[in-house]
Amino acid sequence: MHTTQPLVSLEGICKSFGPVKANNNISLNFYPGRIKALLGENGAGKSTLMSMLAGSLQPDAGTIRVLGTPVRFTSPRHAHNAGIGMVYQHFKLVDSMTVAENVMLGQEDGFLLHPAKMYASIATLARTYGIEIDPAARVEDLSMGERQRVEILKLLRRESSVLIFDEPTAVLTPKETEQLFYAFQRMAALEKSIVFISHKLQEVMEIADEIAILRRGEVVEEFDRESVPDKTTLASRMIGRSMNTEMHRPALAPGEEVVVVENLEVKGLQPLSFSLRKSEVLAIAGVAGNGQKELVEVLAGLCAPRQGNVRLLGKSWKEFFPTPPKVNGLAYIPEDRQGMATCPDLSLVDNLLLTSREIFTEGMLLQRSAGLAATLQIISQYDVRPGNPQASGRSLSGGNLQKLVIGRELLRQPAVIIAENPTQGLDIAATEDVWARLLEARQHAGILLVTGDVNEALQLADRIAVMYRGKFVDCFPVTDAVKVAQIGSMMAGVAYR
């Protein structure tokens, strides 16, 4: 029972997009000094709800109250002025500016004329909340975790009392996650209210004082820390059916080499050598920005190797590209599902045909009816919502769009799969489904899994290569418990034994 007044209350909030009811009569309270986690499947309405609280969207019905007073936010600036701010998954920073300059941008109060005072002010703010950062460092030189701290400082500099975090640990090392949670606790100790959107149940159970579960646009359950069930039960209540939280990875004998890389060099990569075999998952673990993107671009045919040799399915890079096999070839699941992987304004059918049109072509004619049937099959098998094949890619949440992309790429029965953060932003049910399908595809394919999620690597991989500053720190079987325990240190570039 809360005895204090909530900083913010949501009362009967409703929001629809055409026939889709994203939020239906949602009521929640956010209290000072409390960390509240929001859990729910992709499309459950979490992001829509928080976008209304942050001023990016307006509700169709219902009331938002700040300290008991009804308000209507018509823009994010109005929400900021009321003390509500949101840290998004994609940071909005100016790379060429310093930490302090980014924090002060748009909040000028004279410090910009006195750099020493500006840096001292931001350093004091960072110390107050236990945030480790150099105010004079340039953003372009920072890790993803450090950039996130800059976004947090921007909100704290505005004296935000309610801070919303959307999947904040998706790009962090385990050590950076610990530092973020320490900052959460410091903020809560200073009477801030923290809203934490995550699909990582263990993290939620570790840090949250309260948990609210959304399902199909409604709040179905709320828990205090003392009444939170175990992780498996929590996952089951989130999706409304029984769940497993561990994957069974059947033992398979590795087959022939399907990818061979020898002394590969491109910008951002030091000379790199490795191989991938059929029926094997090789996970490349690391924080974004350490050369993974450059490696993936070469293997996916987007960038030619500058030095070294790359062989795919027995052919050299030049022989394999730009006309790889229509089936039993290479499939690429990009991290950027809304830019690289799909076209937002095309229908789901046309998005499916972007990379698979060859298998639906007879002579010069494209068999759209077959493409439609395949799209409907993927919608059904992967539970893509909304299930309208003529809907635009833009109308899908990030998680549902990712399910469509994965279904599309596996449709061609590839012999090599490059999966780049394939479950980032997916709920526990969708994640379990994608993992199961990748493990099934492993029977006939070699899979290169690029991920910043250590748990994902441990669940799926036969071997793990940890990448830092363009090279592999180490590569080892997932059964090597000693090295598995050191993955976090390796990802941060810390010396290990």
d(CA 210, CA 196) in angstroms, rounded, equals 10
Cα torsion for 97, 99, 101, 107, to the nearest 10°?
140
What pLDDT sits at residue 497?
45
Contact 283, 460 (CB under 8 A): yes
What pLDDT sits at residue 319?
95
Q: Give all domains of the chain, ordered by start, each with its CATH number.
A: 8-239 (3.40.50.300), 257-491 (3.40.50.300)
d(CA 360, CA 383) in angstroms, rounded, equals 23
Task: Please give the chain's pLDDT, 497 residues, in tens.
Answer: 566 899 999 999 999 988 778 999 999 999 999 999 998 877 788 889 999 999 999 999 999 999 999 999 999 999 999 999 998 777 888 989 999 999 988 765 554 457 888 899 999 999 998 888 999 999 988 877 788 889 899 989 888 999 999 888 877 777 888 888 999 999 999 999 999 998 778 888 899 999 999 988 999 999 998 888 877 778 778 777 665 556 788 889 999 999 999 999 998 899 999 999 999 999 999 877 789 989 999 999 999 998 999 999 999 999 999 888 989 999 999 988 877 899 989 999 999 999 999 899 888 889 999 999 999 999 998 888 888 999 999 888 777 888 899 999 999 999 999 999 898 777 777 788 889 889 999 999 999 999 988 889 999 999 999 999 899 999 999 999 999 989 888 887 775 54
**Residue 287 one-letter amino acid:** V
Proportion of the chain in helix, strand, coil states, percent, rounded to 5? 35, 25, 40
Query: Any bridge partners for residue 138, and if so which?
Result: 98
Token couple for 485: 């325990």
d(CA 126, CA 107) in angstroms, rounded, equals 17
Phi, psi for 359 (deg, rounded to 5): -80, -5
Contact 157, 107 (CB under 8 A): yes
Sheet with strand 20-30: strands edge to edge = 20-30, 8-17, 61-66, 69-71
Strand blocks (E) in 293-370: 307-312, 315-316, 330-333, 361-362, 365-366
Measured between alpha carbons, how far is residue 396 from residues 346, 347, 434, 486 in Å?
Answer: 12, 11, 17, 38
Contact 34, 223 (CB under 8 A): no
d(CA 74, CA 385) in angstroms, rounded, equals 28
